[in-house]
């Protein structure tokens, strides 16, 4: 606590002395918080290199879980978009004629759960197949087109259960041979995401603990270096809260600094990875960008890193104070 | 003000620092505590400051058994006691003004009011002109006076001093004692631990003498000579 700065403050006039009790105590409390908060920040700035190293250690510990969380929310986003584009392929019996296949396609189109239906005639199918696989010669040698006509359906409700249900219904339509619903990999993506979420949680816990230990150890050294001051203020009637306060603020500053480091690393890393990710997405014909933290995510990152720092400070001072009890 | 009732203090279960101490100090009294080093003077003061707890007996301060104080009440109890240490316990990373203002900062006194009281205390010990100095720039005697200013800045009803003149020459020691007498004159109860017998003899106050942890005498010096 530095009281020296306050003495230059101009004398205040008026109602100061008339107000008393809780009000003045609250103001004294706030004044002390402000003074201690600033003093702790100044102490950190006085040793910029070691403060920065501590913040880097915290930031690096936090960047992995935060990055995983980001990747996960990105994967969720992609999964949702892929699910939105979920389709069913209805294969008609090979015996169905082209005109009949159009009628069937119309029937399917009128189904209340079907958003849209696109008919691919046997001939179109063969052409697409040839183009895609470069099997022109092989197919040309066949007398008959072996491919059936098909209808590609976009469902109204894209949830896996509804899609599966719709598939069962469409399978019963006359002239339909088979309905393909490719949900397995969507399901797999979902399971992967669930696994990733747990992994993120576990890593977040572990690395958060790591950050806590970093702050705790740094604050422990700070407590050690201010041992005399703590002794003296305790002798003249400082409460534990008073003794603890500067270290809690130091811890919180370290945590906040670590959060900023983590934020910067994430932003830089995101920028660095954006180009290859874009290329990768394009090669799949998909379109997804690098997930970003956004305002809410950034606020949460900084808040939790500050909390971790505060907690680390608390643990370090608490241990010291517990050792110093009168016997 | 203070009552020791059969107070004993053992360390580590064997070494007996204080044994069966009985005495009372009235409000507004000034007295000395003497004895060789190791006689238990510091232990006795530490008990009053509630830095240690008696192993036996009761210690009442202002009518309260301070052994029963809850840990959260101890800081508020200590604010009622001004303490002057032999090694003055100043903080060397801040100037004289900030050192003296420390007890007021702890109590959340408003800066304006705090500055007024700090200057009053520094004026009392004759160091008003050195408020911006760092403790390291002061002489030993000046440092001790800063320590005294800090002990009295919040006007505690009880002032304890542990060998306050230990490192000072006779002239400075006499000055310091005169300061204590001044505080006593305005109603502060003052208890000074010192082994400077020559100085104590000149000052005509009540003297408690400790030897090997026991109170061996309790007498008023200079009675009848007229103060």
What does the pLDDT profile of chain A (327 residues) look like in tens digits?
444 444 444 444 444 444 456 777 788 888 889 989 999 999 989 989 999 999 999 999 999 888 888 888 877 777 777 777 778 888 888 888 888 888 888 888 888 888 888 888 887 887 777 777 766 666 666 667 777 888 888 888 877 788 888 888 888 888 888 888 877 777 777 788 888 889 888 988 999 899 899 999 999 999 998 888 998 999 889 999 999 999 999 999 999 999 999 999 999 988 888 888 888 878 776 666 677 788 888 999 999 999 999 999 999 998 888 876 655
Instruction: Tell me whether residue B14 is in a domain.
Output: yes
How far apart (Å, rounded) are the C-alpha atoms in residues A282 and B74? Answer: 70
Q: For an interface test with B, which of A2, A5, A7, A43 has the most B Cβ atoms less than 10 Å from its Cβ? A: A7
Between chains, do B102 and A12 touch, taking CB under 8 Å as contact? no
What domain count does chain B have? Answer: 2
Between chains, do B98 and A12 touch, taking CB under 8 Å as contact? no
- Compare all CA atoms of chain A with the CA of B95 and give the residue at the minimum distance: A4
What is the distance in angstroms between the Cα of B119 and the nearest Cα belonging to chain A? 11
Chain A, window 189-228: residues with a beta carbon less than 8 angstroms from a chain B beta carbon: 228
Largest Cα span, chain A = 107
Instruction: Tell me whether residue B11 is in a domain.
Output: yes
How far apart (Å, rounded) are the C-alpha atoms in residues A2 and A106? Answer: 83
User: DSSP letter at A173?
Assistant: S
What is the distance in angstroms between the Cα of B14 and the nearest Cα belonging to chain A? 15
> Which residues does chain B have within 8 Å of residue A16's beta carbon, measured at their own beta carbons?
110, 112
Between chains, do B111 and A31 touch, taking CB under 8 Å as contact? yes
Instruction: Tell me whether residue B85 is in a domain.
Output: no
Phi, psi torsion values for B91, nearest 5 degrees: -95, 125
Structure tokens at A94: 């090979």
Last residue of a domain, one of B102, B135, B155: B155
Verify that B25 and B46 share a domain, yes or no. yes
Verify that B113 and B183 share a domain, yes or no. no
Verify that B55 and B160 share a domain, yes or no. yes
pTM of the model: 0.75
The answer to whether A26 faces chain B, any CB pair under 8 Å, is no
How far apart (Å, rounded) are the C-alpha atoms in residues B118 and B149? Answer: 8
Q: Which domain holds residue B190?
A: 1-80+156-227
> Which residues does chain A have within 8 Å of residue B94's beta carbon, measured at their own beta carbons?
2, 4
Q: Return the CATH fold of A87-182.
A: Alpha-Beta Plaits (3.30.70)
CATH code of the domain in which B185 resides: 3.40.50.300
Last residue of a domain, one of B116, B137, B155: B155
Which one of A1, A9, A326 has the shortest CB-CB distance to B105?
A1
How far apart (Å, rounded) are the C-alpha atoms in residues A305 and A211? Answer: 8
Q: How high is the ipTM of this complex? A: 0.85
Instruction: Tell me whether residue B210 is in a domain.
Output: yes
Verify that B204 and B220 share a domain, yes or no. yes
Instruction: Tell me whether residue B27 is in a domain.
Output: yes
Which one of B49, B95, B111 has the shortest CB-CB distance to A9?
B111
Instruction: Tell me whether residue B10 is in a domain.
Output: yes
Close Cβ partners of B51 (under 8 Å, ≥ 6 residues apart)? A235, A326
- E strand intervals along chain B: 2-11, 15-25, 30-34, 56-61, 64-65, 81-84, 158-162, 189-193, 206-211, 214-220
Between chains, do A239 and B72 touch, taking CB under 8 Å as contact? yes
Verify that B64 and B109 share a domain, yes or no. no
Between chains, do B106 and A242 touch, taking CB under 8 Å as contact? yes
Between chains, do B89 and A242 touch, taking CB under 8 Å as contact? no
């Amino acid at each position: 606590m530095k009281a020296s700065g306050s003495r230059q403050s101009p004398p205040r006039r008026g109602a100061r002395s008339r107000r008393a009790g809780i009000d003045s105590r609250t103001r004294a409390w706030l004044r002390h918080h402000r003074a201690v908060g600033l003093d702790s920040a100044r102490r950190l700035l006085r040793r910029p290199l070691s403060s920065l190293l501590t913040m880097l250690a915290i930031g690096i510990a936090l960047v992995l879980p935060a990055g995983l969380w980001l990747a996960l929310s990105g994967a969720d986003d992609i999964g949702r978009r892929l699910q939105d584009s979920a389709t069913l392929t209805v294969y008609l019996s090979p015996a169905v004629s082209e005109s009949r296949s159009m009628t069937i396609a119309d029937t399917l189109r009128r189904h209340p759960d079907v958003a849209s239906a696109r008919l691919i005639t046997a001939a179109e199918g063969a052409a697409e197949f040839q183009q895609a696989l470069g099997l022109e010669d092989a197919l040309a040698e066949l007398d008959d087109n072996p491919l059936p006509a098909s209808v590609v359906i976009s469902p109204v409700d894209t949830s896996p259960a509804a899609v599966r249900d719709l598939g069962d219904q469409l399978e019963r339509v006359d002239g339909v041979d088979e309905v393909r619903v490719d949900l397995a990999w969507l399901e797999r993506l979902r399971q992967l995401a669930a696994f990733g979420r747990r992994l993120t949680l576990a890593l977040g816990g572990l690395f958060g603990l790591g950050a806590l230990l970093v702050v705790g150890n740094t604050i422990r050294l700070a407590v050690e270096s201010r041992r005399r001051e703590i002794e003296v203020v305790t002798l003249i009637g400082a409460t534990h809260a008073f003794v603890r306060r500067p270290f809690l603020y130091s811890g919180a500053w370290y945590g906040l600094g670590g959060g900023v480091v983590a934020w910067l690393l994430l932003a830089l890393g995101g920028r660095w990875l954006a180009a290859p990710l874009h290329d990768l997405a394009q090669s799949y014909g998909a379109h997804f960008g690098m997930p970003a933290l956004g305002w809410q995510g950034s606020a949460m990152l900084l808040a939790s890193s500050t909390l971790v720092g505060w907690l680390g400070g608390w643990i370090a001072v608490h241990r010291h104070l517990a050792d110093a009890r009168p016997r | 003000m203070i009552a020791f009732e059969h107070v004993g203090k053992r360390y580590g279960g064997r070494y007996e620092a204080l044994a069966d101490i009985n005495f009372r100090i009235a409000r507004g009294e000034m007295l000395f505590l003497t004895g060789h080093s190791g006689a238990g003077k510091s232990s006795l003061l530490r008990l009053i400051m509630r830095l240690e707890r008696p192993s036996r007996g009761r210690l009442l301060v202002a009518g309260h058994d301070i052994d029963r104080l809850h840990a959260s009440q101890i800081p508020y109890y200590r604010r009622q006691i001004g303490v002057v240490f032999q090694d003055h316990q100043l903080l060397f990373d801040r100037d004289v003004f900030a050192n003296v203002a420390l007890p007021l900062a702890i109590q959340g006194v408003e800066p304006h009011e705090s500055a007024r009281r700090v200057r009053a205390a520094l004026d009392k010990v004759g160091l008003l002109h050195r408020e911006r100095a760092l403790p390291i720039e002061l002489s030993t005697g000046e440092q001790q006076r800063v320590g005294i200013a800090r002990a009295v800045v919040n006007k505690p009803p009880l002032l304890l001093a542990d060998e306050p003149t230990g490192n000072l020459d006779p002239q400075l020691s006499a000055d310091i004692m005169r300061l204590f007498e001044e505080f006593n004159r305005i109603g502060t109860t003052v208890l000074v631990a010192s082994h400077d017998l020559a100085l104590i003899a000149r000052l005509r106050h009540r003297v408690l003498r400790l030897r090997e942890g026991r109170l061996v005498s309790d007498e008023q010096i200079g009675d009848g000579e007229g103060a």
